[in-house]
Amino acid sequence: MSSITLLTDGSKYSSLIRNKKVRGDDTFIILTDPGEKEKTSGADENAVEWNKRSSLSARNAILTVLNRYGSIDEAVLVYQPGNFNKTFHETSAAVYDLQVDRWIKGYGYLLKELIQLFIKQQHGQISFILDTDGIKVQTPLEAAIFSYLKSMIQNLGILYQNEGFRIFCFESETARKEEFLDFYYKTILDSRYTAGKIYRFSDKKGLFDFSRN
């Protein structure tokens, strides 16, 4: 059975996730922010603009997809650290405001619209991937955003556990993205689902390096 999947652009996972999906009749809708430098990674005809700094844009993006395809079955949202090279005391207020708007407000607006839709549909799935891309020490701003998003997704999973949709939260510190995606797909296809669980992928090199906490 085909599915309509929303996927946020601008991360190293965008093309990997689409290529990993085995069903050829699945449709990926790429949410791309016109205010960012990242270029949509292919499938431009399926791209929908989403200004992370606007609650109205989040609603319009969802409505655009619904008008085109009739439904949304799944959303894959990814957060990765930015390219900050300033020390804490050198980071400008403008950078703080921008990153808070994009990641904290932006994902909050989008999640609100998705949850409203999935409650109405009584089906759907949200997978939130928090990925450090192999970076062991994040900047204070990145660490704060990472922790906020993880806590929010975990809490949402618990609050909406009795609704007809699922919320997954994945955390990865590895640069081995293909291996993480194997773990990701194995997890979401597993019928045993625990609301509010953080599904972690360990960066250990051994054979048994998958962990859930």
The structural domains of the chain, with segments of one domain joined by +, span 4-212
Instruction: Give the pLDDT confidence of 17-65 residue by residue, as tens digits.
Output: 877 765 566 788 999 988 775 554 444 568 999 999 999 999 999 999 9
| pLDDT value of residue 152 | 96
Q: Which of 19-33, 67-81, 87-101, 189-203 has the lowest mean pLDDT?
A: 19-33
Integer Cα distance of 177 and 201 in angstroms: 10
Q: What is the pLDDT of residue 205?
A: 54
Q: Is the pTM of this model over 0.85?
A: yes
pLDDT at 213: 39
Per residue in 185-211, pLDDT (tens digit) is 899 988 889 999 999 987 665 444 444
Residues in a beta bridge with 157: none
Please determine, looking at this structure, whether the domain spanning 4-212 carries the CATH number 3.30.300.10: no
pLDDT for position 45 = 66
3-state secondary structure the chain: CCCEEEEECCCCCHHHHHHHCCCCCCEEEEEECCCCCCCCCCCHHHEEECCCCCHHHHHHHHHHHHHHHCCCCEEEEEECCCCCCCCHHHCCHHHHHHHHHHHHHHHHHHHHHHHHHHHHHCCCEEEEEEECCCCCCCCHHHHHHHHHHHHHHHHHHHHCCCCCCEEEEEEECCCCHHHHHHHHHHHHHCCCCCCCCEEEECCCCCCCCEEEC
Q: Looking at residue 110, what is its pLDDT?
A: 97
Q: What is the mean pLDDT of residues 129-152?
A: 87
Task: Please write the tens of the pLDDT for every residue from 142-163.
Answer: 889 999 999 999 999 999 999 9
Residue 106 contacts residue 36 (beta carbons within 8 Å): no
